[in-house]
Amino acid sequence: MLDHALPSVAIFLSITRLQNIHGENIAFGKDAKQSSTTTGYSAIRALDITYSKVGSVTGAGNPSWWEVDLRGYFSISNITLTASDSGYVSNLKNAYVEVMDKDVSLCPDVQVEWCGNVSSTVARKEKFTFTCNATFPIRFVRVTRRSSSNVKLNIGHIDVQGVGATKRCRSYYTPTTKRKVSIPSLTTSAITAGDCGILCQRNHSCIDFSYSTTASSEANCLLTKKEVPKNSVANIAWTMYTLDNCL
């Protein structure tokens, strides 16, 4: 059986991740990043409608891009980009949307599906909805803007609709000894680190987990939906496991 002493935890199973209630934005609360950032307008703002007046804004680049890691596998039905209600609004024009199964910055064998592109003119608060016809489970959504010169990318809000998809995968978790997640979303029991990892895979919101061989058998497996390592503390009795992006 798998244990935390191994250099990594590998889990083989057919999984359905993050089953979605119809109408819920499955990108909300997930991990977002962008090619660069105009101060005060980070990538995560595009996921929260509270900030949609301006949303996220990259620095000038070519290309400029924004990406969200859904931290699960989905069949995407549609993606809606909403333009900001600000002076940055023109920085959405001609942007295009793609979905991927892996992190394009880490993995050489990424599957990519083009979903659509924004028009060459954009009005404030205008919505652009794209249908994605990918035949493979999706984990990443990327918005890219290219031009003949350096440009910014501004997204007021992005809404991603879809349902959990089954993916036959081999998942690797990278261990960090003497640390544990500090804000577990679920405290439970597991026989081994591998069993704890399987519970994480099956849980609808789990990103990473921690396991201890010495903690109470009823509370030796901590699942978290918060970003790690930010959500971690030093603890000699625990090992923290972070899901590798390149699966």
Give the start-to-end residue ranges of the domains of the chain: 9-15+167-243, 31-164
> Sign (positive/negative) of CA torsion 73, 18, 192, 4?
positive
Mean pLDDT for each consecutive 10-residue tract of the chain (247 residues)? 43 39 78 96 97 98 94 90 97 96 76 93 97 90 94 97 72 84 91 84 78 92 83 92 69
**pLDDT of the residue at 229:** 74
- For residue 196 the two structure tokens come to 């704890």
**pLDDT of the residue at 118:** 97
- For residue 218 the two structure tokens come to 């009823």
Task: State the Cα–Cα distance between residues 162 and 123, nearest whole angstrom.
Answer: 27
Spatial contact of 124 and 50, defined as CB atoms under 8 Å apart: no
Whether cis (ω within 30° of 0) applies to the bond prior to 63 is: yes
3-state secondary structure labels for all residues of 66-89: EEEEEEEEEEEEEEEEECCCCCCH
Location of structure tokens 């001609």: 94
What three-state secondary structure class fits 47? Answer: helix
CATH number of 31-164: 2.60.120.260
> Whose CA is closest to 66, among 87, 85, 86, 38?
38
Give domain 9-15+167-243's CATH architecture.
3-Layer(bba) Sandwich (3.50)
Report the first-to-last Cα separation within the chain, whole angstroms. Answer: 21
